[in-house]
């Protein structure tokens, strides 16, 4: 008598809550540890010391995946939409500019008070003359970023960074058996890679560009081509920075991504926007039906959308340098395309590149 009653939750509910907290704390702590390891690796690379490849084990990947990155990314996206008071905008954006080395002199609007929220600031436009599009080369960089890897695709495997690969078929998904894409005829013994090459004597090439949080967040068409199909893979939203890409095999196949496929003058062409932690949405300007980072999805699932219809036999024509889409934060662009054997990249692994600069040409 006279004592307060103690209200308790069912044991099952308490266990579920505690398990969730343990997973978040453990996964978050491990993710922080990995960030520190990545930082040390970056310092070694800057010193010119070659770092041996050390891949994550299955349990390490599972532990990393236990972090609710999709939920956190949606929360981050909502936070970015919150309108900041005018007096708070300059201090917040200035801190971001200082942390990630943003060059605001290139922005179409340099006044920080103009951007009502973080989302607007991330998606800031550039001055027209800030990124001249190279006219002398057939393929340009679709975005600002860092070149992680490039070269020919070999044995149906693509390098995400030096020494770490992923499966071409797992990344792009099964071959689209329609007339939308001019795939070569599938014959017994033909590999997935051979089926993508439509012209005799051509090879398949790839290029991986990592966009850091301080980079320009929009991406553009890397060449003149025709987009016929979109394939959306829901998935994890693990970090895609070079350190993690070196650590987790097939990282890009685990993460959410949007694959645009079509053709250019030399045959097959594709551009894939890969999601990452805090990249709550990937937007393609001409695709209003695309919705990324949904709360629920089936593991290993994907959905297809065709831009070919009775009223549109050509798909979506894109001109070199034309606006194509945007990320809400940094992420990765992967180009996989067909070209003649004399196609040459004008790149070095690890170099910084800006939208509009040459990737390669014949």
Q: What is the mean pLDDT of residues 298-326?
A: 88
Residue 271 lies in a domain: yes
Q: Are residues 88 and 233 in the same domain?
A: no
Residue 322 lies in a domain: yes
**Contact predicate 346/359, CB 8 Å:** yes
Residue 306 lies in a domain: yes
Residue 13 lies in a domain: no
The answer to whether residue 113 is catalytic is no
Q: Are residues 229 and 296 in the same domain?
A: yes
Name the catalytic one among 206, 217, 220, 232.
220
115 vs 165, 190, 250, CA distance in Å? 40, 52, 37
Residue 134 lies in a domain: no
Q: Are residues 204 and 304 in the same domain?
A: yes
- In this prediction, residue 8 has a pLDDT band, given cuts at 50, 70 and 90, of low
Sign for the CA dihedral angle at 237, 241, 247, 253 comes to positive
Residue 33 lies in a domain: no
Name the catalytic one among 144, 215, 263, 287.
144
Q: What is the mean pLDDT of residues 323-339?
A: 90
Residue 230 lies in a domain: yes
The answer to whether residue 220 is catalytic is yes
Q: What is the mean pLDDT of residues 155-177?
A: 84
Q: Are residues 116 and 227 in the same domain?
A: no
The residues with which 218 forms a beta bridge, in sequence order, are: 326
Q: Are residues 166 and 228 in the same domain?
A: yes
What local confidence, expressed as pLDDT, does residue 26 receive? 53
What local confidence, expressed as pLDDT, does residue 32 receive? 61
Q: Are residues 243 and 214 in the same domain?
A: yes
Total structural domains in the chain?
2
Q: What is the mean pLDDT of residues 220-227?
A: 96
Cα 255–157–67 angle (5° rounding)? 20
What local confidence, expressed as pLDDT, does residue 15 receive? 47
What local confidence, expressed as pLDDT, does residue 66 receive? 81
127 vs 117, 308, 346, 358, CA distance in Å? 20, 34, 26, 20
- C-beta contacts of 24-32 below 8 A and 24+ residues apart: 24/66, 24/67, 24/68, 26/63, 26/66, 27/63, 27/64, 27/65, 27/66, 27/67, 28/67, 30/60, 30/63, 30/64, 31/64, 31/67, 31/239
Tens digits of residue pLDDT in 177-199: 544 455 445 455 578 888 899 88
77 vs 96, 122, 135, 175, 337, CA distance in Å? 16, 11, 36, 33, 32
166-202 per-residue burial string, b: 16 or more CB within 10 A, e: under 16: bebbbbbbeebeeebbebbeeeeeeeebebbbbeeeb
Q: Are residues 70 and 117 in the same domain?
A: yes
Domain that holds residue 221: 139-174+190-361
Q: Are residues 166 and 104 in the same domain?
A: no
Q: Are residues 162 and 91 in the same domain?
A: no
Q: Are residues 353 and 267 in the same domain?
A: yes
- Proportion of the chain above pLDDT 90, given as a percent: 39
> How far apart are the C-alpha atoms of 325 and 256, rounded to whole Å?
16
Share the mean pLDDT of the chain. Answer: 82
Tens digits of residue pLDDT in 260-302: 999 999 999 999 999 888 765 889 999 999 988 887 777 778 9
Tens digits of residue pLDDT in 67-125: 888 888 888 778 888 899 999 999 999 998 998 889 999 999 999 999 998 888 888 88
- In this prediction, residue 27 has a pLDDT band, given cuts at 50, 70 and 90, of very low
Q: What is the mean pLDDT of residues 306-326?
A: 90
The answer to whether residue 206 is catalytic is no
Q: Are residues 159 and 71 in the same domain?
A: no
Q: Are residues 352 and 320 in the same domain?
A: yes
Instruction: Check: pTM over 0.85? Answer yes or no.
Output: no
Residue 169 lies in a domain: yes
What local confidence, expressed as pLDDT, does residue 41 receive? 62
């Amino acid at each position: 008598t006279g004592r307060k009653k103690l209200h308790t939750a069912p044991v099952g509910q308490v266990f579920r809550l505690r398990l969730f907290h343990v997973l978040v704390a453990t996964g978050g702590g491990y993710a922080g540890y990995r960030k520190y390891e990545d930082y040390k690796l970056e310092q070694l690379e800057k010193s010119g010391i070659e770092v041996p490849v050390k891949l994550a084990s299955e349990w390490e990947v599972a532990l990393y995946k236990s972090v609710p990155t999709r939920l956190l990314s949606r929360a981050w996206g909502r936070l970015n939409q919150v309108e900041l008071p005018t007096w708070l905008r300059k201090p917040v954006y200035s801190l971001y500019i200082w942390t990630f080395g943003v060059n605001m002199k290139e922005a179409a609007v340099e006044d920080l008070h103009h951007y009502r929220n973080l989302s607007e600031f991330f998606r800031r436009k550039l001055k027209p003359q800030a990124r001249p599009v190279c006219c002398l080369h057939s393929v340009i960089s679709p975005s600002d970023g860092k070149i992680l890897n490039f070269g020919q695709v070999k044995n149906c495997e693509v390098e995400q960074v030096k020494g770490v690969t992923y499966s071409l078929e797992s990344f792009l998904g099964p071959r689209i058996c329609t007339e939308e894409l001019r795939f070569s005829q599938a014959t017994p013994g033909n590999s997935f890679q051979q089926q993508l090459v439509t012209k005799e004597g051509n090879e398949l090439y790839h290029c991986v560009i990592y966009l850091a949080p301080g980079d320009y967040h929009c991406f553009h068409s890397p060449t003149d081509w025709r987009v016929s199909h979109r394939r959306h893979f829901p998935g994890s939203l693990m970090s895609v920075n070079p350190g993690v890409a070196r650590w987790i095999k097939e990282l890009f196949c685990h993460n959410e991504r949007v694959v645009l496929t079509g053709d250019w003058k030399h045959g097959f062409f594709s551009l894939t926007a890969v999601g990452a932690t805090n990249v709550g949405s990937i937007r393609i300007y001409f695709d209003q039906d695309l919705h990324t980072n949904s709360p629920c999805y089936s593991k290993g699932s994907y959905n297809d959308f065709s831009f070919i219809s009775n009223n549109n036999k050509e798909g979506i024509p894109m001109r070199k340098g034309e606006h194509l889409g945007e990320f809400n934060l940094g992420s990765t662009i992967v180009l996989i395309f067909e070209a003649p054997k004399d196609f040459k990249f004008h790149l070095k692994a690890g170099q910084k590149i800006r939208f509009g600069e040459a990737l390669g040409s014949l």
